[in-house]
Amino acid sequence: MVKAALQGIPVFDHLTMDQIEEVSTWLQRREYTLGDPIINEGDPPDGLYVLARGDAQVVKSTAAGPLVVAELEAPSVFGELGLLNAEEARSAGVRAKSNVIAGFLPRDLFAEKLDRDNLVALRIGVNLGRIASQRVRATTKRLAELSEDVSQHALHAVAYGITGRK
């Protein structure tokens, strides 16, 4: 089941069927029930998860309480930046929204494969870089849009004498 989930996930693009088979041997099968934490915010990154069956939620702690920032459904991956950056703690948690079957790719194993110039690991690394780049571009675009919105609201407030101060 986990092997079948690898096909069509962008992290595993450009892998042959033999390479998909190889990656599937690297994965540890993990199962979770509704509400179980899969990743805890603040934990050190330990690897990537392939969501093979079920749904999950990405949850970020805020001053107002937990905030669901994304909904995930199989097949997909999460925790992928944990493969590349071991210095930064997990920025959000992930919990099972249903019964979940996942494949776990340990960061240490992935690093070992990279150190040995394993072609499959190198292709996954390139794909992760491409995905991270796309996300940075999308985030930059969204921040620019939000900045423009804030600027427009500020100009509107100045024009109408709304200061927010008493």
Per-residue pLDDT of 44-85, as tens digits, reads: 999 999 999 999 999 999 999 988 988 999 999 999 887 877
CA-closest candidate to residue 51, choices 91, 80, 26: 80
Q: Which domains does the chain have, with CATH numbers?
A: 2-159 (2.60.120.10)
pTM for this predicted structure:
0.81
Q: pLDDT tens across 109-133, in order?
A: 999 999 999 999 999 999 988 888 8
For residue 38 the two structure tokens come to 């899969």
Under the banding of pLDDT at 50, 70 and 90, the label for residue 97 is very high
For residue 13 the two structure tokens come to 């693009």
